[in-house]
Amino acid sequence: MTQCFTFFYHKYSLLEQSSTQIYVSPFKFCYAFHLIGVTNMVSLRPRLLFILLCIAMIEHAHSNNDRKTYIVYMGDHPKGMDLTSVPSLHTTMAQNVLGSDFKPEAVMHSYKNFNAFVMKLTEEEAKRMAEMENVVSVFPNGKNRLHTTRSWNFLSFPQNVNRETSESDIIVGVIDSGIWPESESFSDKGFGPPPAKWKGSCHNFTCNNKIIGAKYFNLEKEFAKDDIISPRDAEGHGSHCASTVAGNSVNSVSVFGLASGTARGGVPSARIAVYKVCWKTGSCGEADTLSAFDEAISDGVDVISISTGLGAVVYVPYFKDSNNIGSFHAMKKGILTSNSANNLGPGLSSMTNYPPWLLSVAASAFDRKIVTKVKLGNGAVYEGVSINTFDLKGKPYPLVYGGDVPDIGGGHNSSTSRFCVKDSLDKHSVKGKIVLCESIQSSVDVGFLSGAAGVIFGNNYPKDLPGAYALPALEVTQWDQRLIHSYLNKNRNATATIFKSEEVNDGLIPFISSFSSRGPNPITPNTLKPDIAAPGVEVIAAWSPIDPISDVKGDKRKVLYNVISGTSMACPHATAAAAYVKSFHPNWSPAMIKSALMTTAIPMSRTLNPEAEFAYGAGLINPAKAANPGLVYDISEADYVKFLCGEGYTDKELRVLTEDHSSCKGQESKKAVYELNLPSFALFVNSSDFSSAYRRTVTNVGSKTSTYKARVIAPSLLNIQVKPRTLSFTSIGQKKSFYVIIEGIINVEILSASLIWDDGNHQVRSPIVVYGSVDS
């Protein structure tokens, strides 16, 4: 074998000098020789040498192909460590795991504000890395997904609401798909220079005094053909979110006449810093998301808005997810992160991010509803939903059933054509006709539907997620779809016309949309998630004019403002509310701001939302009231450490996370979740009768001298005691503690209650939810 190594280094050095930079391990090279029984290197024929070298290189390529990008997370940087030496520490760790496979570029990225790096590893190498000293977690670089005129007025937050001049010093970090800087929403007219505290910059992008920071991240260099490799927004989502938070007031906006009015952000005087991590490939890399958090923390943002998350319901430990890790380190620097609850509802426990330091936001409807109607040849009219900007002028078109017109030549039959799967319809049979389909498809899957004049879909789910299509379209209930199909079967010359969408007032508001992900928290059952709700249905805001509103290539409709729905739209409403509170109280901690938003929220109806607090958390945001909450529940980093003890984290893990002398104290840690100073109470019980005690501490931020009395609203099955029932304060910043004891019997899935501290001027409300086993 020694002879082989000598031979390898001689021949391979010549190869390196010629044309290739591929590294081949001498172990793998010589192993290939061993496999075919070669012993005499000197007499080896050149052609056979070439073949053997190819074998070694192919084997090496297969090994490299097995490698995937992983994030190695190690909590905080060691105290007193020179941060310039961090990359060399990460390189040493990579060398120890990769051995002879190590290359200088193995470490793809090292983070600044927390001890973590990115590199490619096989599954076995990832396991070895996870076993190394001080490593908290090693997890794949998953691909997350992207998860307003009248909405602010609906929240009783008018344009002329009382504002602090310091609002212009608030910097909102938006982690998303970028921004369209030419939009009027982002003009810097009337803005002075950025706040002196700002340390950020703009990369491959011209900023102004409104957009003061713009960066983009794509460590794996995975781009779609129509991506823009800069912070510029190629798909509209990031611009929509950024303008909902902090867009200027822009009059007379609409989507071809729909949702017309004045578009504005919740804090229009605030500055925007953009961190682009989402691309036209449809993914937002976790390593890139961590980079965005890292930069936002260094740049000096005041609050972070991120409307991304996993694309499927997966329960991930708190420190194996980029949103959870990034927001934890942001919290340590005094920055609150607002995160969309996800769009995987309405099943219970359908959220994907649960840590208590995050503000998790559900999506509610508000009083505007956009509907679309179809009229049949017999005069029957059915109402459905879509964002249909096309006007057929009431002209009737022949109506056909997709299952009757398959593209047989293309290999389709009625089993696919009845669902209107892309290219499944015979174009000659549907051209100029309206097609009735069994179920809804995405706009991209439908495309132009082989030249059809329009399409009608059936849908089993609630009609609260309207989509825009590249042709006239609407979604009706399955029952209505069957009635339309019945009419079609009875009439050889059946016709229909689809009307342009219209706006109606929705009396059943506010309610949580069906798509909005629900709690409870499967990781920590005795904490409430989501935290709060905000408008997220049919919200109009800025858009990228190069992205068609239907997402279908060839759709010529381009807009500067667009109407879309999702918890992605709810999240920036809550972010703006947090920024608004921050402008009045710049020294408040993230937990204090979160508390202010939750305890002043507008209660929502259990009748309209059967999942109760697991749908809406504390209720609908009330930004104007949140600026003066009276009392707040504060949480320090040390409190979160104690909570993590109760979650099973060890002393060693906590010391790595915090880089201090944190430790867990035996049995006391089991009660930590009940003592985490959250402004909400959740209790999971697995027996019919129960009793649990919670300790809470409130800080007086209202009147200097005040007395609060406890009031409990609860069903008869619950006995809730508050000790003491009166809290008296003599100064601002004074703290008082109390206990809440919850006892009772549960014979239903969910019991809802609330605790209100009332001094006559402030009503500080905390939701209480008790639940047993729930069906998702």
Residues that are catalytic:
176, 237, 568
Question: Listing from the earlier edge strand, what are the strands of the sheet with 116-121?
Answer: 107-110, 116-121, 68-73, 137-140
Token pair for residue 413? 């039959």
- Would you state the structure tokens that stand for residue 148, as one six-digit string? 């307003």
**Burial annotation 66-86 (CB, 10 A radius, 16+ → b, else e):** ebebbbbbbbbbeeeeeeeeb
Are the CB atoms for 436 and 481 separated by under 8 Å?
yes
Residue 554's Cβ-count burial label (10 Å; 0-12, 13-18, 19+) is exposed
Q: Write the DSSP string, 335-372.
A: -EEEEE--S--SSTT--S---TTEEEEEEE--SEEEEE
State how far the alpha carbon of 148 is from the alpha carbons of 248, 398, 573, 614, in Å. 11, 38, 9, 25
Q: How deeply is 102 buried, as exposed, middle or buried, from its count of CB atoms within 10 A (0-12, 13-18, 19+)? A: middle
Q: For residue 324, count other CB atoms closer than 10 A to its CB.
A: 20
The one-letter amino acid at 543:
W
C-alpha span between 188 and 444 (Å, rounded): 35
Calpha distance 364→179 (Å, rounded): 25
How many other C-beta atoms are found inside a 10 Å radius of the C-beta of residue 240? Answer: 33
Using DSSP bridges, classify how beta strands 495-498 and 397-401 pair: parallel, antiparallel or unpaired. antiparallel
Is residue 592 within 8 A of residue 543, CB to CB? The reply is no
Report how far Cα 59 is from the mean position of its chain's Cα atoms: 40
Helix, strand or coil for residue 619? coil
Residue among 289, 303, 297, 285 nearest 113 (CA):
297
Report d(CA 304, CA 579) in Å as an integer.
Answer: 9
Say which DSSP state 85 is in: G
Tokens 């959220």 -> residue: 351
Handedness of CA 94, 95, 97, 99 (dihedral sign): positive
In this structure, is the dihedral angle defined by the CA atoms of residues 430, 435, 439 and 445, taken in order, positive or negative? positive
Phi (first) and psi of residue 68, to 5 degrees: -125, 160
DSSP E strand stretches across 66-170: 68-73, 107-110, 116-121, 137-140, 143-146
Facing residues of 740 across strands?
Answer: 694, 722
Per-residue HEC secondary structure of 730-754 comes to: CCCCCEEEEEEEEEEECCCCEEEEE
CB 264 within 8 A of CB 152: yes
Radius of gyration of the chain (CA): 29
* Chain position carrying tokens 């229009």: 268
